[in-house]
C-alpha cells in the first residue's frame, strides 16, 4: 500500500481498530453474523443491523459474530425501535466495541451510558448544527450519508454534505457514505479530511451475504436510475425516504401510506405509531425480498452505486479492490506530477 494512502487511513483505522477504515453499512436481514464477521475478518469494520431484532436475538447475534471473528465490529441501533432501551442494555452488557445510532438522534444519557463503559458511539449528521449537537453530547464519530445511499436516507447529496460539514469538524472521525462504489472516490473523500467510508450496496452481492440469489441477481442487473426514492404523500406524515429498485412493492408502499394517513385523520393512531407502522412495512417487505427471494412484492433497497455491482465476490476481494483502486489513483497522480 502506498505510504500516502496508509497515512490517509490512519485516523479511521485507529478509531475503528482495523486495517482498512471501511465500515459495513447496517442492512436489515443482511448485516448479520456472516457478513459482519466476514467484513471484519477482511480488514474492515462489520456492523450488525439490529433494526428487526429483539433483545434476545441481538444478544445471540453478537455472540454468534464473536464466534466467527476476533476482530472489532459494531452494532447499529434504530432509535425508533420500541425496545430500544433493552437493545442498548444488551450492547452495554456484552461490551460491543462501537454503537451506531440511526433513525433519529440519541439522548445525551444514551451516549453517556456507553461512554461510562468505554464503548464508542457514532451517529448520522445531515447538518452542521446536528453534527455539533451530537458532538456536544459526547458522540465519538459521525457518518455523513448522502441520499445516493440505499434504504433509509436523508435529503442531501453526499457531495454537498462533505462540503458543508467536513471542513468544520476535521478533528473528529467522520465517515462518508452513499454512492461509494470505487476506490478513486473513496480516496478523494480521504484527501478532503474524511476518516473513512461506509459501504452497503457493494456488500449485498458478496459471497458471504445471506441475501437470496434472486435479490443478488437483481442488483447485478440494475442501473443507478432504477433506484428511486419513495414518494411521501403527506407532509404531516413522518416518513423517512427510502431508496430502492422500483418494483411492485414501491407501489404498495403508496397504498400503505394512504391507509395510515386515513388512521391519522381519524385520530386512530399517533404520529409515532404511524412511523412504526411504516417501519414494520419496510422490515416485512424487505424480508420478503432478501430472505424469501420475492423480488416483485419485496422491497429492493439499494443505493445508486448498484450500477457498479457487476458480479459476486468475496468480501475480502471487495475491500481489497477498493483499496487497490485508491492506491492506483495515487500512483497515477504522482506520475502526472
Residues 253, 114, single domain; the answer is no
Domain for residue 215, yes or no?
no
Q: What's residue 118's pLDDT? A: 97
pLDDT tens digits along 177-197: 999 999 999 999 999 999 999
Q: Is residue 318 in a domain?
A: yes
Residues 269 and 242 both lie in one domain: yes
For residue range 125-148, list pLDDT tens digits in order: 999 999 999 999 999 999 999 999
Residue 217 lies in a domain: no
pLDDT of residue 284: 85
Residues 15 and 96 in one domain: yes
DSSP 8-class letter at 313: B
Give the mean model confidence (pLDDT) for residues 261-284: 80
pLDDT value for 312: 96
The answer to whether 257 and 277 have CB atoms below 8 angstroms apart is no
* Range 58-79 burial, b when 16+ CB lie within 10 A, else e: bbebbeebeebbebbbbbbbbb
Do 205 and 228 lie in one domain? The reply is no
Pair 122, 141: CB distance under 8 Å = yes
216 found inside a domain = no
CATH number at residue 127: 3.20.20.70
Angle between helices 84-93 and 55-68 (to 10 degrees): 30
Q: Does a structural domain hold residue 156?
A: yes
pLDDT at residue 292 tops 80: yes
The whole-number pLDDT of residue 336 equals: 77
pLDDT for the residue 267: 81
Total domains in the chain come to 2
- Residue 163: count of CB within 10 angstroms of its CB: 11
| Predicted pLDDT at 251 | 87
- Between 3-16 and 183-191, two packed helices, what is the crossing angle to 10 degrees? 80
pLDDT the model gives residue 262: 86
Q: Is 89 a domain residue?
A: yes
pLDDT band of 238, cuts 50, 70, 90 = low
Residue 124 burial by CB count (10 A; 0-12/13-18/19+): exposed, middle or buried?
buried
131 and 235 fall within a common domain: no
Query: Which domain does 271 fall in, by range?
Result: 223-290
Q: Do strands 227-229 and 98-102 pair parallel, antiparallel, or not at all (unpaired)?
A: unpaired
DSSP 195-249: -EEEE-HHHHTBTT----HHHHHHHHH--GGGEEEPPP--TTS-PPPEEEE-SHH
200/240 same-domain check: no
- The length of the chain in residues reads 337
Q: How many CB atoms lie within 10 A of CB 251?
A: 11
Q: What is the pLDDT of residues 18-53, one digit of tens each?
A: 999 999 999 999 999 999 999 999 999 999 999 889
* 260 and 332 belong to one structural domain: no
Task: Describe the strand order of the beta sheet including 242-245 as a list of residue ranges.
Answer: 151-152, 242-245, 227-229
Please identify which residue in the block is written with the cell numbers 456484552. 94
Looking at the fold, whether 275 and 171 belong to one and the same domain comes out as no
Instruction: Using the predicted structure, report yes or no on whether residue 237 has a pLDDT greater than 70.
Output: no
CB count within 10 Å of CB 311 equals 8
CB 27 within 8 A of CB 177: no
Q: Are residues 116 and 187 in the same domain?
A: yes
**Helix or strand holding residue 122 (H, E):** strand 120-124
Q: Is residue 301 part of a domain?
A: no
Residues 117 and 194 in one domain: yes
Residue 232: inside a domain: yes
Tally of CB atoms within 10 A around 292: 13
- Separation in Å, CA 277 to CA 234, 257, 270, 298, 331: 15, 9, 10, 16, 51
Question: Do 125 and 240 share a domain, yes or no?
Answer: no
Quick one: 45 and 89 in the same domain? yes
Amino acid at each position: 500500500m502506498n505510504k500516502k494512502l496508509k497515512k490517509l487511513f490512519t485516523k479511521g483505522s485507529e478509531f475503528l481498530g482495523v486495517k482498512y477504515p471501511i465500515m459495513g453499512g447496517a442492512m436489515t436481514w443482511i448485516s448479520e453474523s456472516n457478513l459482519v464477521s466476514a467484513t471484519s475478518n477482511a480488514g474492515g469494520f462489520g456492523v450488525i443491523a439490529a433494526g428487526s431484532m429483539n433483545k434476545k436475538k441481538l444478544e445471540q447475534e453478537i455472540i454468534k459474530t464473536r464466534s466467527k471473528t476476533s476482530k472489532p465490529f459494531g452494532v447499529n441501533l434504530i432509535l425508533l425501535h420500541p425496545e430500544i432501551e433493552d437493545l442498548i442494555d444488551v450492547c452495554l452488557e456484552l461490551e460491543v466495541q462501537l454503537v451506531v445510532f440511526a433513525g433519529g438522534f440519541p439522548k445525551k444519557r444514551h451516549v453517556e451510558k456507553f461512554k461510562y463503559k468505554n464503548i464508542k458511539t457514532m451517529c448520522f449528521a445531515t447538518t452542521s448544527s446536528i453534527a455539533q449537537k451530537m458532538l456536544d453530547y459526547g458522540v465519538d464519530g459521525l457518518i455523513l450519508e448522502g441520499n445516493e445511499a440505499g434504504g433509509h436516507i436523508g435529503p442531501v447529496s453526499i457531495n454537498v454534505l462533505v462540503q458543508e460539514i467536513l471542513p468544520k469538524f476535521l478533528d473528529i472521525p467522520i465517515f462518508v457514505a452513499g454512492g461509494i462504489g470505487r476506490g478513486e472516490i473513496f480516496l478523494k473523500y480521504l484527501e478532503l479530511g474524511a476518516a473513512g467510508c461506509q459501504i452497503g450496496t457493494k456488500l449485498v452481492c458478496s459471497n458471504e451475504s445471506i441475501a437470496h440469489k434472486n435479490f443478488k441477481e437483481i442488483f447485478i442487473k440494475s442501473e443507478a436510475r432504477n433506484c428511486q426514492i419513495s414518494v411521501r404523500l403527506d407532509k404531516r406524515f413522518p416518513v423517512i425516504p427510502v431508496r430502492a429498485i422500483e418494483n411492485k412493492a414501491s407501489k404498495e408502499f403508496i397504498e400503505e401510506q394512504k391507509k395510515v394517513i386515513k388512521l391519522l385523520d381519524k385520530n386512530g393512531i399517533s404520529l409515532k405509531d404511524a412511523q412504526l407502522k411504516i417501519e414494520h412495512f419496510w422490515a416485512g417487505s424487505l424480508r420478503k425480498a432478501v430472505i424469501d427471494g420475492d423480488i416483485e412484492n419485496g422491497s429492493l433497497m439499494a443505493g445508486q452505486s448498484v450500477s457498479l455491482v457487476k458480479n459476486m465476490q468475496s468480501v475480502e476481494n471487495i475491500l481489497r479492490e477498493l483499496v487497490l483502486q485508491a492506491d492506483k489513483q495515487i500512483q497515477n497522480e504522482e506520475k502526472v506530477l
